[in-house]
Each structure stands twice: as structure tokens, then as C-alpha cells.
């Protein structure tokens, strides 16, 4: 079955190093908490809010061993007034036997406010 795994994290500053470090941390936790490997992944979408423009977060995928062939894409989030600032979001599309309710979505740092209904956020693992 094809499933989506969501994740999000915030950064303090619009600096390349901060964006890439936060993205690495988030993607690693999404991989670990869902037990996925690159061969299961159809593609990954990365989005950033309009206030993050110093790095492509998808770039970090190349640093994961065996993940260099996974198709990735970056985009900008819709700038809705009052929405969470300095936020990186990831959607990993995977082939998995897990049921919807078994998927572990990961929301770190300030992004933990985005989906408190899932009960799967972890603000202590922020960076």
C-alpha cells in the first residue's frame, strides 16, 4: 500500500546551515520511526515557508547512504496570513504494509503545533 509520512520542523534563522541541519534531523527521525529504506520511497516533497530561502532542504537526501536515487522536490508553502513561520515540511511517499494508524508522523520544535491531534509530536527532539 502507498502511504504518506508527514513531518515538519521549525528553524530559528534563515541560514543554510540551520535549514540543512534541521532537515537532516527531521528526515532521519521520519526514517527511523517508520523503519523505511530508500527502496520503499516513491518520492519526497520538501516545502519551506517564504521566509526560508538560503538552502534547498531536499539537498540533504543525497547525504543519506543509498538515498541518492530517490526523487526529491522543493517548493514554497502557500503564504497564508498567520501561518507558522520558518517551517520546513516533508512528505515521504512510501510503499509499506503498515496501516494508516501505524504511520508515525514527526513534528518537531515549533512545528509540533501543526498536528497535535495525531499525538505523535515530539517538541523535545527539536534540533
Told to judge if 74 belongs to the known catalytic residues of this protein, a careful annotator would answer: yes
From the list 6, 17, 69, 102, the catalytic residue is 6
From the list 12, 87, 115, 127, the catalytic residue is 115
**Residues 88-98: b if buried by 16+ CB within 10 A, e if exposed:** bbbbbebebee
Told to judge if 89 belongs to the known catalytic residues of this protein, a careful annotator would answer: yes
Told to judge if 77 belongs to the known catalytic residues of this protein, a careful annotator would answer: yes
- Nearest Cα residue to 42 out of 78, 113, 91, 101: 91
Told to judge if 62 belongs to the known catalytic residues of this protein, a careful annotator would answer: yes
In Å, the largest CA–CA distance within the chain is 39
Helix spans in 5-68 (H): 16-34
120's grid cell? 505523535
Told to judge if 127 belongs to the known catalytic residues of this protein, a careful annotator would answer: no
From the list 17, 62, 69, 102, the catalytic residue is 62
- 22/17 Cα distance (integer angstroms): 8
Residues labelled as active-site residues: 6, 62, 74, 77, 89, 107, 115
Amino acid at each position: 500500500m502507498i502511504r504518506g509520512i508527514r513531518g515538519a520542523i521549525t528553524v530559528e534563522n534563515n541560514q543554510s546551515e540551520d535549514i540543512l541541519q534541521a532537515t537532516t534531523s527531521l528526515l532521519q527521525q521520519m526514517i527511523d520511526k517508520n523503519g523505511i529504506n530508500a527502496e520503499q520511497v516513491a518520492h519526497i516533497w520538501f516545502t519551506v515557508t517564504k521566509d526560508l530561502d538560503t538552502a534547498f532542504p531536499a539537498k540533504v537526501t543525497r547525504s543519506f547512504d543509498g538515498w541518492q536515487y530517490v526523487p526529491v522536490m522543493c517548493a514554497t508553502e502557500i503564504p497564508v496570513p498567520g501561518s507558522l513561520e520558518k517551517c520546513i515540511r516533508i512528505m515521504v511517499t512510501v510503499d509499506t504494509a503498515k496501516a494508516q494508524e501505524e504511520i508515525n508522523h514527526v513534528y518537531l520544535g515549533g512545528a509540533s503545533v501543526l498536528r497535535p491531534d495525531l499525538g505523535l509530536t515530539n517538541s523535545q527532539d527539536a534540533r
